[in-house]
Amino acid sequence: MMATVGDPMPVDETFPHLRKVHSSPEIYLIKDFLSEDECNALKAEALNRGLSQSPVKYGGWTQDVGEALRLLSVGPAVWIALLPELNAHGKSTIEIAVEVMGTWVAATLSFGVLLLGWAKWRETQLQALRTSTSVRLDASVSCAHKYEMRARQLLTLPSSETFEGVDIIRYERGQALKPHFDANREARLEDAERGGQVLATAIVYLNDVRSGGRTRFGRLGLDVQPQRGECLLFFPADKNGAFDERTEHEGMEADEEKWLARIWVHENAVSTRGVTATPARLAGA
Ligand SMILES: O=C(O)CCC(=O)C(=O)O
Ligand SMILES: [Fe+2]
């Protein structure tokens, strides 16, 4: 059952060119959020640093571990229940206990190995769903700093400590990002080092794209055609971190080159801010 999703984090309703394009969940477009020069500077900086395959990570593994542990914990309970029966077959309780523990430890280890293999396999599968290249810019880069400052004003935030760095993403013809969620149901546990849940996503398109490459919110029937300098703002979770599955979205296959600059805003300060590129969590994609 879907948890109740409340209000998103606040937005400055008076921000110039702010336009609400969807209510419940709220989605905004802000024209001319960055100037042509600012867009070009971000692109140039990304090219200068070099882009590499956009990373992905399998989100939701803690649910798998939880389920595995639940199953494994049933093992000894069953054996204990069978003790009187086994005793009747002439084995001492000690002998049975040693046998049971041996089997259980072996089963646990094999399960652990299987689980790791499963998570790795999921990641390989997910990589095929995201074929763009990207690079993270930290706020010491002046064009990234300007973008962060404007995002702070838009979201009425006193500092940028809850922002991951600015990710510049480039799609070449034929590249895409399949339907996914930017939030993670298990964010508190799995994403603790990156500030927990993603409460807001800001995307600024760095070039005009005439055909293909739209950002699509499939469950909402909303498509956004990239326009240089325009910002798309949406809320993958509510202000308390409750996952909002209505915000599932995708980057449609590009017919021509598409560039964007993305900021993920978290519920807490990001300790790895600007240091490492955080892979997208693509569970449930
Ligand atoms: O490419 C797009 O239009 C969307 C990008 C996106 O959803 C992401 O980077 O998480
Ligand atoms: Fe996304």
Give the residue, by CA position, lying nearest to ligand 1 atom 2. 251
Chain-wide mean pLDDT for the chain? 88
Which pLDDT does position 114 carry in this prediction? Answer: 84
For the chain, how many residues are written?
A: 285
Whether the CB-CB separation of 115 and 65 falls below 8 Å is answered with: yes
Closest residue by Cα to residue 234 from 68, 80, 20: 20
φ/ψ of 207, rounded to 5, equals: -150, 160
Residue 113 Cα to ligand 1 midpoint, Å, equals 33
Q: Are 103 and 67 in contact (CB under 8 A)?
A: no
Task: Report residue 281 CA to chain centroid gap.
Answer: 4
Which sign does the torsion angle of CA 57, 63, 69, 71 carry?
negative
Closest ligand 1 atom, residue 132 Cα: 1
Task: Tell which one of 262, 266, 278, 282 to mutate to probe ligand 1, the residue whose CB is within 8 A of the most ligand atoms.
Answer: 262
Q: Which atom of ligand 1 is nearest to the CA of 224?
A: 3
| pLDDT tens per residue, range 94-124 | 887 787 788 888 888 887 888 788 777 777 7
Positive or negative, the CA dihedral 73, 74, 78, 81 is positive
**Contact (Cβ atoms closer than 8 angstroms) between residue 178 and residue 285:** yes
Q: Under CATH, which number does the domain 18-54+131-281 receive?
A: 2.60.120.620
Ligand 1 pocket residue status of 251, Cβ below 6 Å = yes
Q: Is the CB of 130 under 6 A from ligand 1?
A: no
3-state secondary structure of 230: coil
At 79 the three-state DSSP class reads: helix
- Does residue 215's CB lie within 6 angstroms of at least one atom of ligand 1? yes
Kindly give the distance from the C-alpha atom of residue 77 to the centroid of ligand 2, in angstroms, as a whole number: 43
Q: Which neighbouring-strand residues pair with 261?
A: 168, 204
Given a cut of 70, the residues of the chain with pLDDT beneath it are 1-3, 58-76, 78-80, 82-83, 85-86, 88, 274-285
Q: How far apart are CA 88 and CA 79, in angstroms?
A: 14
Residue having the nearest C-alpha atom to atom 4 of ligand 1: 251
- Ligand 2 centroid to residue 250 C-alpha, Å: 7
From the CB of 168, is ligand 1 less than 6 Å away? no
ipTM comes to 0.99
How big is the CA angle at 280 (ends 42 and 45), to the nearest 5 degrees? 15
Cβ-in-10-Å burial (0-12, 13-18, 19+) of 37 comes to: exposed
Residue 166, C-beta contacts closer than 8 angstroms, at least 6 positions apart: 42, 136, 137, 138, 139, 141, 144, 147, 148, 261, 262, 263
Q: Is 212 in the pocket of ligand 1 (CB under 6 A)?
A: no
